[in-house]
Amino acid sequence: MRLKIFCVILAITMLMLAGSSAAFDGQRKGKVLAMGFGYVAAGPHTINTERTTYRPGVAIRLVAGYATSNRSMYTFGIARQAIFYTDARGTSMEGTNWMLELSMTRYLRETHHAAFWRTGLGLIDWGIRGNRADSPREESTDLDFCLVGGVGYMFLKGLQVQLDLVAGPAPSGGDGKIKGLLRLELVGMIY
């Protein structure tokens, strides 16, 4: 319940910041600060012959960068994802992982009503840190490089929605690490 209240307050704050962003003069070029939040999902996988199913979780991302023109932007971001899942025994668990990314975004138009695509490289902790009902803390770490690709649409000045796919090499041994994430975000930007 607290997570839902936090997400609603965060959405209202982002809308207020984007709406009052008088600094947007029709030029996307310059320094960029952004914050995004949304849903993250991972596919089911097998852990030691036990099937694990994931439910949508929450993602929060902070971004800083520079737009070299009204159509090209280069950014550095850090994201934290909270993931909820159920193992084969029906035990519900929750966990988090984090990610650093360098990305390039290309807008298809110079105005603020524009579709875009983005691509990048990242460093992700595919491991899960979380809680289970039968053990107080479960931790694993699996740092690896990942690819980020996505599409989106800027529908208001400084406010856009985007869908990203984050994927990396499958960990060896079938040890239950996440191999890919799908992230749907609402992003508020200040130029």
Q: What is the per-residue pLDDT for 118? A: 96
* Closest alpha carbon to 103 in 24, 36, 158: 36
pLDDT tens-digit map of 31-45: 889 999 898 887 655
What is the model's pTM?
0.74
Average pLDDT of the chain, as a whole number: 76
pLDDT, residue 20, reads 45
Average pLDDT over residues 81-107: 77
Residue 183 in tokens:
């992230």
Q: What is the pLDDT of residues 131-180, one digit of tens each?
A: 555 555 555 566 788 899 999 999 888 899 999 998 887 655 555 555 77
Q: Tell me: domain 2-190, CATH 2.40.160.20, correct?
A: yes
When comparing pLDDT for 99 and 7, which is higher? 99
| 57-67 pLDDT per residue, tens | 888 899 999 99
The tokens for 140 are 């694993």
How would you classify residue 30: left for phi > 0, otherwise alpha for psi between -120 and 50, otherwise beta? left
Q: Which residue has the tokens 């929750």?
A: 94
